[in-house]
Amino acid sequence: MLTKIWRVDPTAGNLEENAGIQEAATYIRDGEVIAFPTETVYGLGANALSDNAVKKIYEAKGRPSDNPLIVHISDFQQAERVARSIPDAAEKLMKAFWPGPLTVIVPAADAVAKTVTAGLKTVGLRMPKHPVARALISAAGVPIAAPSANLSGKPSPTEASHVYEDMNGRIAGILDGGPAGVGVESTVVDTTQDLVTILRPGGITREQLEAVLGKVASDPALKDKKAQPKAPGMKYRHYSPKAPVELVSGGLQELKQAVARAKETGLTVGVLTTTENANVFKNLADVISVAGTRADLATVAQGLFHALRRFDHYDLDIIFSETFPAEGIGEAIMNRLNKAAGSSKNDGME
């Protein structure tokens, strides 16, 4: 299949009339799969009301069929078509954080394709903030089901070139709207329980959720590796470069020693580090990938997946990574790094 690429300036006005977005929207209505930018990562979208269209997403990604997709909408009326009911807590969160990087799990309406929910009675809803995503959904006139636009198991794409690497020839087209802003995916919260529960930490922090709701719970599987995650996708190994990743806690000295020891045994070594520390590895590591600055963890979130993907352009034996405080956006960063390091009981792929 020929994969078309449309470049779209997200700051231009009247995007719904943009020729590329119009053409991409036509493909969506015709049941094809289109990659598009969101403010978190690029998504792989299809008409959420069509089982046949949604099946093509699973095929293109190589995604296990038990892993449900998030439905992306561009206005609040669409939420009422996709949800059977909207719990009070969900409504509060939608008002506070939409459009933005938050996915709320709510009871699913019958109109939602069964392949979207993977047989669950609930559905994940998200109203993205990215102007290209919003224009595409409005122009298509249907809610769009979309996982991250990576091949299963790989780091999520934050640039159109990452999508091209994984999806060229597998989908109808890619809308290139430049780099995604947040860099890690949306926070997924279950609003069907008494206490709103974080299933996947992401772009909206726990602290932000608690400012609106008071206390929120966490899926026990986020801490306890033996527990079964409530978001099916969280049980899979994910975000992994080809070479094994090892997280080094402690500090810079510990990381330096780990790299030095591996070099002594003759290994080819990559290091995932920050602007503050990169220099230390200059004559030590074979490949240095800088995610961002420790002074502002939002930059680390932004650059994390690009930094992880870069390693695959080299032939490495092992990658060592810095660790970060798991607070604020750091919670999502550490969750993704732990997954990249292969900490999951299943060895399937998302």
Of 329, 51, 47, 341, the C-alpha closest to 206 is 329
Q: Does 105 bind ligand TXA (CB under 6 A)?
A: yes
Residue number closest to ligand TXA, CB atom: 233
User: For residue 107, what are the β-bridge partners?
Assistant: 122
CA–CA distance, 310 with 306 (Å, rounded to integer): 6
Q: Does 277 bind ligand TXA (CB under 6 A)?
A: no
Sheet arrangement for strand 287-292: 245-247, 318-321, 269-274, 287-292
User: Does the protein bind ligand TXA through residue 146 (CB under 6 A)?
Assistant: yes
Residue pointed to by tokens 């969160």: 93
Cβ of residue 347: shortest distance to Mg ion, in angstroms?
17
CA–CA dist 17, 128 (Å, integer) = 19
- Asked if residue 240 binds Mg ion (CB under 5 A), the reply is no
Candidates 40, 152, 205, 321: give the one binding ligand TXA (CB under 6 A). Answer: 40
Query: Footprint of ligand TXA on residues 41-80 (CB under 6 A)?
Result: 41, 43, 67-70
Amino acid at 97: F
Question: Binding ligand TXA by CB under 6 A: which of 15, 93, 126, 172?
Answer: 126
| Neighbour count for residue 193 (Cβ, 10 Å) | 13
Q: Among 10, 20, 99, 124, which residue sits at the site for ligand TXA (rule: CB under 6 A)?
A: 124
Q: Is 274 in the site for ligand TXA (CB under 6 A)?
A: no
148 binds Mg ion (CB under 5 A): yes
- 222 forms part of the interface with ligand TXA (CB under 6 A): no
Contact between 177 and ligand TXA by CB under 6 A: the answer reads no
Q: How many CB atoms lie within 10 A of CB 251?
A: 11
CA torsion 203→207→213→214, rounded to 10°?
160
d(CA 123, CA 84) in angstroms, rounded, equals 9
**Pick 15 or 105: Cβ nearer ligand TXA:** 105
Binding site for ligand TXA (CB under 6 A): 38, 40-41, 43, 67-70, 101, 103, 105, 117, 120, 122-124, 126, 146-148, 185-186, 188, 199-200, 230-234
